[in-house]
Homo-oligomer: A and B are copies of this chain.
Amino acid sequence: MKFCSDCGATVGLNIPEGDNRPRYICTRCDMIHYQNPKIVAGCIPVYDNRILLCKRAIEPRYGYWTLPAGFMENGESCEEGAARETEEEACAQVENLRLYTLFSLPHIDQVHLFYLADMTTEHFAPGSESLMTQLLPEAEIPWDELAFPTIGRTLRYYFADRQAGHFPVRSEALLRPVRAN
């Protein structure tokens, strides 16, 4: 950030009075421009014991597999964001969303949320950000070709919890990049 988005003057990095960390502050109008973590919301879409995965058609991680997920938008709930991404990336409708995993990723200023979700029909297809979409049983998950660490962790929890018969909600921090699978 170099300029004030409100008045166009330059900004400086200083600690505001009563605050305890540097913020971008406008040198003309004094507006403080806070920067905060972004939420990525997604689903674990389930149909007939299989999971819907998308092969990414965009960077980062072009060609790798992901659960449908993306940046939450203003004006929507976390559940609406997760369902919207599932429709956009995999052309699938989901219902009965239940919060399942929350990952803090402080090194990239993101929080990832995944919701367990039931597909309302078996219909799915690649959206514009996907090369391919597939409904896969546990034995066919491409563990070595997953796009992001939070995808692999969520899927591993899911299959272990399915075995155990209950799905506790988890909140944890991934303090540094870990292997995707």
Interface residue ranges of A31-52 to B (CB < 8 Å) = 33-39
Q: Chain B interface: which of A104-112, A140-148, A149-157?
A: A104-112
**Bound CA span A8–B1, Å:** 10
Tell yes or no: A85 within 8 A of B by CB.
Answer: no
Oligomeric state, in copies:
2
Q: Is the CB of A78 within 8 A of B99?
A: no
Tell yes or no: A6 within 8 A of B by CB.
Answer: yes
Looking at chain A's contact residues, the main secondary structure is: loop
* Cβ contacts under 8 Å, A36 to chain B: 38-39, 71-74
- Interface residues on chain A, number (Cβ under 8 Å): 45
- 27 A-B pairs within 8 Å (CB atoms) are namely A1-B6, A2-B5, A3-B3, A3-B7, A3-B8, A5-B5, A5-B33, A8-B8, A8-B10, A18-B128, A21-B73, A34-B71, A36-B38, A36-B72, A37-B73, A37-B74, A39-B39, A72-B111, A75-B107, A75-B109, A76-B104, A76-B106, A78-B104, A78-B111, A79-B104, A80-B104, A99-B171
Residues of A at the B interface (CB closer than 8 Å) are 1-8, 10-11, 18, 21, 33-39, 71-80, 98-99, 102, 104, 106-107, 109, 111, 113, 115, 128, 169-171, 173, 175
